[in-house]
Each structure stands twice: as structure tokens, then as C-alpha cells.
Amino acid sequence: MKPLTVRYELDESGAWIASLPSVKGCHTYGRSLSQARERIREALWAATDNKGMAYSVRLIDDVRLPARLKRLLALLEKARQREKAAAIEARQAAVDAVRGLNRLRLSRRDAAALTGYSFQRIHQIAHGEA
């Protein structure tokens, strides 16, 4: 069964209008995007003869947002990608630091004091647990 695209748009009251352009007369609304997503299946069920299809067809979201908000969401996604890369870099730096401290035969408590991690976290890093 071919997936259907659902168009979501905010109206002036802040409600989400959900419509299936490929199914005549199939539209609904919700106070939240989540509620509109739930209700569009009910609207599809009411608008078609194939009742089983309404709950089995895959729906693809097409959320229409103002350009300014799209730009802000794109900036957020880029920031999250940078955050993820920084977290990977920090984990590797922690592993390298703990290995270096272990070579000096420092206690886990001393390694913790120097790194700002708990001694339990030092143990996890030293044993490759995280």
C-alpha cells in the first residue's frame, strides 16, 4: 500500500490543521501536533470505504512552518550535531587522560580529583565500560 502524505499547518488560533490532499474531504485539527496526528486516522477512516486501510497505511508528515521557525529548527539541529561531536571528543579525551593517569599509577580517587569525575566513573572509563 502506498504511503500517504499528511499536511499539517498552524491556523491563526494555534491549532494544527491536518489534511490528506490525496483523499477528498479528509481533514481534521488538533490542539497539538500529536493530537492532530491521532485524529487524521479517524478522519481517514470516515472519508474512505476501506476502513482497515485507515489504520494500516503509513502516513508521512509534511509539517508546514513559517520560514523563520524552519531556520531556527535548522540551527538547533546543527547545534545538536556539534554537541554530539563534542561529547564523542570529550569521551575520547577522558579515556586518554585516564589511561595516562593509570600509567602514572595514580589511585582512582586521585584521578577523580584531577579530572572532575567520580572515582566510580574513572573505574568505568579505565575498564572500557563507557
Contact call for residues 66 and 14 (beta carbons, < 8 A): no
Q: Which of 27, 49, 64 is the last residue of a domain?
A: 64
**What CATH code is carried by the domain that includes residue 15?**
3.30.2390.10
Q: Which of 40, 64, 88 is the last residue of a domain?
A: 64
The residue segments making up the domain with residue 88 are 70-126
Same-domain pairing of 82 and 38: no
Give the number of domains in the chain: 2
In which band, very low, low, confident or very high, does the pLDDT at 130 lie, cut at 50, 70 and 90? Answer: low
Same-domain pairing of 78 and 57: no
Q: Which of 37, 64, 91 is the last residue of a domain?
A: 64
Same-domain pairing of 74 and 111: yes
Lookup result for grid cell 509539517: 63
Contact call for residues 50 and 42 (beta carbons, < 8 A): no
Task: Note the pLDDT tens digit of each residue in 39-73.
Answer: 999 999 999 988 888 889 999 999 999 999 999 99
d(C-alpha 97, C-alpha 27), whole Å: 58
